[in-house]
Structure 1
């Protein structure tokens, strides 16, 4: 598969899987305002997914469209990072997962606005306002939970610790990522990691939460199609209708 197509699929798979995860909170949020806000974030991510998939399908030239990429690929064909397929758990689990992703996603999208690929730069430019809001929102909520009650602090610290091992995969660049950096399409891993660590450290400190070691061992493999069992269950639910009734339209 062409490196750029692979890279675009990674971007789209990340936002699609997280969007699907967040949509499962619809109607179940801890407060009405939170319920609506999280659903809106899910919709933002879904809109970004469509733009990445549309470009990937055009470059691939295999006759697949955005729906085929979302609904007709099996788990081993998805290239999302493992962090995003981790279970929703309690609300602290969901928000820590969101914060880790949002911090990376903001700095990545900001870097992609200066991409040598004009189409990628345009998509990033259109997405930047959304991801800026996503990061501000999730960071604020981490502070509120961490510096809140004893229960909220304990649950948030537990989530920070448990999900940390999945946070570094986005910075583990392989041949696909490095080809995009060399072509001026994507920002370098070192730059993104430094920005991410600085921001995450600042927010966790304000939240009175302890940050795990920056050099801790990290999980990986999602970008290469090696996933946890959680993704299979998520795709089974998300893809059921299209698989059961191929080509169905409303």
Structure 2
């Protein structure tokens, strides 16, 4: 699939793909949640993220005559621009449904990051992006509250739940640096007023997330230099498997309609 690959399109795809891939991961809990209410909650979070992704993909594809379905279902792995953190399986061994502790902490990290993005994107120079952000910011607030509640409950819960949360945090933390890597695309989008600089989100994000982790009695791992480049199209081995699930029906029956 040929894309125009402008800074605007890249910025939209990076955020859209982050929502799309995290939605796909969270949806894997549908029918497997630890309790019925959480099964439904994670499915609803996934639907919110999917709606955000659809709106952004529609804007991103318009210059090339592509709709959200084509961008979601027909792009190749190297054309998908989400941070690697969002594509990781819930469990380190890839078993499903996976590790609920990891899911909880990833949703905490992701929802705090999304909320900061949407809050600033409400003031985007692109009116369509600002309109999407005005709706999405309300959803992100709920997502953050939901993840915060579970982080506190499990982190400061039993000795077993605390140990599981700490282990999940150790696994997750090396990937968070990519969320705040700025490049020439960010500089162009900041200059045009389209989107915030990802690097500028680091400190408010840390303040918010570290406060939750402290209340949950979880020890924050040592920061490491970022070694991941998913938002440049260089992914872990896990994204290919995820896309195989996500795109299977469209690729098996091209152009199929319900």
Alignment TM class, shorter chain as reference: over 0.9
Find the partner of 1:244 among 245, 248, 252: 252
Taking the TM superposition and a 5 Å limit, the aligned residue runs for 1:75-224 are 75-89=77-91, 90-213=99-222, 215-224=223-232
Distance across 1 between alignment mates of 2:192 and 2:152: 38
1:228 aligns with 236
Residue 11 of structure 2 contacts residue 195 of structure 2 at CA under 8 Å; is this kept in 1?
no
Find the partner of 1:38 among 33, 37, 42: 42
TM-score, normalised via structure 2 length: 0.93
* Cα displacement (A) at 1:156: 0.5
1:23 aligns with 27
TM-score, normalised via structure 1 length: 0.96
> Could you list the runs of 5+ residues in structure 1 that have no partner in the other structure?
none
Distance across 2 between alignment mates of 1:49 and 1:219: 26
Supply the RMSD in Å over aligned alpha carbons: 1.0
> Could you list the runs of 5+ residues in structure 2 that have no partner in the other structure?
92-98
Taking structure 1 as reference, are residues 188 and 63 closer, same or farther at Cα in structure 2, changes over 3 Å only? closer
* Cα displacement (A) at 1:63: 2.3
Distance across 2 between alignment mates of 1:129 and 1:11: 17
| Of 177-186 and 204-213, the range deviating more from structure 2 | 177-186
Residue 182 of structure 2 contacts residue 199 of structure 2 at CA under 8 Å; is this kept in 1?
no
1:9 aligns with 13
2:95 aligns with none
* Cα displacement (A) at 1:190: 4.2
Name the count of aligned residue pairs: 247
Distance across 2 between alignment mates of 1:243 and 1:51: 22
* Cα displacement (A) at 1:188: 2.9
Find the partner of 2:69 among 54, 67, 71: 67
* Cα displacement (A) at 1:161: 1.2
* Cα displacement (A) at 1:232: 0.2
Distance across 2 between alignment mates of 1:75 and 1:68: 14
2:96 aligns with none
Distance across 2 between alignment mates of 1:219 and 1:30: 33
